[in-house]
Amino acid sequence: MGITSAIFGCSGLSLTQDERDFFHEAQPWGFILFGRNVDTPEQVTALVAELKSCVSHEDVPILIDQEGGRVRRLRPPHWEAYPAGEVFGENYHQDKKRALRFAWLQSRLMACDLQKLGINVDCLPVLDVPVRGSHDVIGDRAYGSEPVIVSDIGLAASEGLLSGGVLPVIKHIPGHGRAGVDSHKDLPVVTATISELERSDFEPFRRLNKMPLAMTAHVVYTAIDTDNPATTSVRVIKDIIRDYIGFDGLLMCDDLSMHALKGSFEERTTASFDAGCDVVLHCNGDLNEMRPIAAASPKLSGDSLRRAGQATDLFASVKACDEDDLRNEFRTLCDGETYGQDPTEAGH
């Protein structure tokens, strides 16, 4: 039957019969959960099992955005309220070693949370480097405004997830930090020079280029391609992401339903694959949008299949830990602060 090069969302807390039938026919590589899909641990576990039962391949990637702060799908009272990325950057300036341990602990505990539910991919870390005047769609999700700090904390966060058998997704490659508008709503155009981009925006991705998964930015970089955002730009994906940054992991596009992209869903899908994406991502659970995306998506093959296999092989990399001890240490580092009081459905 073959595996379709797509990741799809679903509409609610359990699958409808139409969704079951569609997923069985489409055989997507993976699925993604949002807040609309989350109630209790028992419900999420059942939904994940239901999603996996719809496809015939093993090691099905189940994605979620669990960054901490305002972008989190798992919330109190059932799950910990984790801090946003900027907290680790603030700690880094005071005590680098403490900050990196703090970031690692958070991700390792997130991996514990996710593993219990059957979720095995977290769309973290955010490696974007914001600049003054940029839109706050990244904002406090970023670890800082210095590439070295972003890289160091991003690596610690990634390693925390990997030690728990959860795959990190570095995003938004090759950098969303300069965007002046929210790509959920409009197309950002970045006019920085190549040297500026290489010195800042691209650097964290170069330093973490061995990570298994990455998500594109729906951003135009006029110094590279004046017409197309990274997601649909052959120049950005080949010359920058693959060659300059050196990323050879599996590359997924950001959500195809975001308003930064134009054209029909079939056209968006075809353009993403033609540019060099390995897998497309669609998040909102609308079957009317998913059907043309599935029809336009190829089966996983060649380098894309190799990259997918190398990624899912890492699911087995769980290292034993004493969760209670780690959670107590984490809460000590939180120093009594309460985080994550403004969750949002946005976040890619």
What are the catalytic residues?
184, 254
Give the residue carrying structure tokens 């994406």: 277
Instruction: Return all residues near 70 (Cβ < 8 A) that are at least 6 apart.
Output: 84, 140, 141, 340, 342, 343, 344, 347
Tally of residues, the chain: 348
CA distances (Å), 157 to each of 38, 228, 268, in order? 23, 31, 31
- Of the candidates 89, 86, 87, 62, the residue with the CA atom closest to the CA atom of residue 73: 62
Distance between CA atoms of 128 and 131, rounded to whole angstroms? 10
Say whether 338 sits in a helix, a strand or coil. Answer: coil
C-beta separation of 328 from 80 below 8 A: no
Burial of 338 (0-12, 13-18, 19+ CB in 10 A): exposed
